[in-house]
């Protein structure tokens, strides 16, 4: 049981370091310094956290992080800087907690603990990147305060009941493994949008022509989908957003053809296979919304889950506008073609009688009135 408790404390400190390494060190050091917790003999190596030097340095960094972590986009820069610091710090705390039983075991356990810290850090960084796109700044403050409260509460649970903390950590880690690919896709696309925005020319780019070629890997997907007998009208690089069965934060291409003008296709890749989604454009209303990092093309249908978004980087703003305009024209034509043409109803009884009697219609055509 003692070994299991030590392992729980080590992994718990590593996981919490992914959210705030400095706060984890500072709160643990305060608890040791003021004897809020009594260190068992197996935790003697953590006594250094209660030293004056460690408390002063970690306290200053906690004070700095408290304010930096609540400013939109500055918090993401802070997270980027700590992408290396937090995993190494978490691994160091975990190894120190075990007390160096064996050099080889220290290395292996340090790698595992660092990976756990990195996973927690990735979830935190991705959450902030998503929140930073909201128009109001108060969400950053609320999320930051919630994270800090969570770290303090988790540390209290960790020292009060290490086994309960280990169970909670196992559940949280299992959830993190499931969401980590989505988190990394989100981080990757946001970094790409930021780099494209920073590389955007200061002057308005000229009107961009419609690209009509697909990369070979996407072209194979498109040819399999259409049997190789469709002419591409345009193919626009974008990133998927909301929408069922398309996957969020995936790079892909919106493709329109000359033959199927009432349809648009989204091509993307998932692991080692390609996927495609076809939309009947007449079922959607098309709009283009400018965002801070991108332009968001929206296809909104009448159903509950009939809303799809596709994001274009700032360097392709003119292309996004042309794509939206073309889709609007295609949608209007498709809707007009689907409306049945009805002949106007006759307005007088004589006309209705003629319409219902073909023979009478012939008589009416041959009747010529004579003058007096």
Tell me the pLDDT tens digit for each residue of 93-150.
Answer: 999 888 766 788 888 999 999 999 998 998 898 888 878 877 667 788 888 999 999 9
As a whole-number percent, the residues of the chain with pLDDT over 90 amount to 34
Predicted pLDDT of residue 198: 84
- pLDDT greater at residue 337 or residue 121: 121
Note if the pTM is more than 0.75.
Answer: no
Asked which of 6-20, 36-50, 81-95 is least confident by mean pLDDT, the reply is 36-50
Predicted pLDDT of residue 43: 75
CB distance 86 to 117 below 8 Å: yes
Instruction: Inform me whether the pLDDT recorded for 363 exceeds 60.
Output: no
| Cα–Cα dist 5/10, whole Å | 9
Mean pLDDT estimate for the chain: 83
Q: What are the residues whose beta carbons fall under 8 Å from the beta carbon of 149, sequence distance 6 or more?
A: none
| Cα–Cα dist 204/18, whole Å | 41
CB distance 364 to 354 below 8 Å: yes
At residue 153, the 3 state secondary structure works out as helix
Predicted pLDDT of residue 342: 52
Highest mean pLDDT among 65-69, 191-195, 246-250, 267-271: 65-69
Task: Domain ranges for the chain, please list them.
Answer: 2-198, 216-338
Tell me the pLDDT tens digit for each residue of 181-199.
Answer: 888 888 889 889 988 888 8
Predicted pLDDT of residue 357: 47
Question: Which two three-digit tokens encode residue 43?
Answer: 């935790």
Tell me the pLDDT tens digit for each residue of 200-250.
Answer: 776 666 666 788 888 888 888 888 877 667 889 999 999 999 888 788 889
Give, in words, the CATH class of 216-338.
Answer: mainly beta
Predicted pLDDT of residue 56: 96
Question: From the CB of residue 206, how many other CB atoms can be counted at a distance below 10 Å?
Answer: 7
Instruction: Inform me whether the pLDDT recorded for 40 exceeds 90.
Output: no
Tell me the pLDDT tens digit for each residue of 288-326.
Answer: 999 888 999 999 887 766 889 999 998 888 899 999 999
């Amino acid at each position: 049981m003692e070994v299991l408790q030590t392992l729980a404390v080590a992994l718990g400190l590593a996981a919490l370091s992914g959210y705030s390494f400095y706060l984890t060190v500072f709160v643990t050091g305060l608890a040791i310094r003021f004897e809020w917790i009594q260190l068992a003999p197996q935790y003697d190596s953590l006594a250094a956290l209660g030293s004056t030097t460690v408390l002063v340095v970690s306290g200053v960094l906690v004070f700095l992080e408290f304010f930096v972590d609540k400013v939109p986009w500055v918090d993401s820069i802070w997270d980027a800087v700590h992408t290396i610091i937090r995993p190494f710090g978490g691994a160091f705390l975990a190894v120190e907690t075990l007390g160096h039983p064996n050099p080889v075991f220290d290395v292996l356990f340090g790698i595992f603990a660092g990976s756990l810290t990195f996973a927690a850090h990735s979830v935190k960084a991705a959450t902030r990147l998503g929140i930073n796109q909201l128009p109001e700044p108060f969400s950053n403050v609320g999320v930051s305060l919630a994270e800090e409260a969570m770290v303090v509460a988790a540390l209290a649970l960790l020292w009060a009941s290490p086994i309960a903390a280990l169970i909670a950590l196992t559940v949280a880690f299992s959830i993190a493994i499931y969401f980590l690919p989505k988190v990394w896709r989100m981080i990757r696309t946001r970094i790409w949008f930021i780099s494209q925005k920073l590389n955007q020319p200061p002057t308005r780019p000229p009107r961009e022509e419609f690209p009509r070629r697909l990369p070979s890997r996407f072209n194979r997907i498109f040819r399999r989908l259409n049997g190789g007998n469709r002419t591409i009208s345009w193919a626009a690089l974008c990133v998927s957003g909301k929408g069922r069965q398309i996957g969020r934060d995936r790079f892909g291409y919106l493709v329109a053809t000359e033959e199927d003008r009432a349809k648009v296709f989204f091509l993307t890749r998932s692991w080692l296979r390609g996927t495609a989604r076809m939309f009947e454009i007449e079922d959607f209303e098309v709009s283009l919304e400018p965002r801070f990092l991108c332009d968001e093309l929206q296809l909104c249908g009448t159903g509950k889950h009939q809303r799809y978004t596709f994001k274009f980087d700032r360097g392709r703003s003119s292309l996004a506008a042309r794509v939206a305009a073309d889709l609007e024209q295609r949608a209007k034509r498709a809707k007009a073609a689907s409306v049945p043409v009805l002949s106007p109803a006759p307005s007088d009884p004589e006309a209705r009688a003629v319409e219902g009697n073909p023979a009478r219609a012939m008589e009416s055509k041959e009747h010529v009135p004579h003058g007096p």
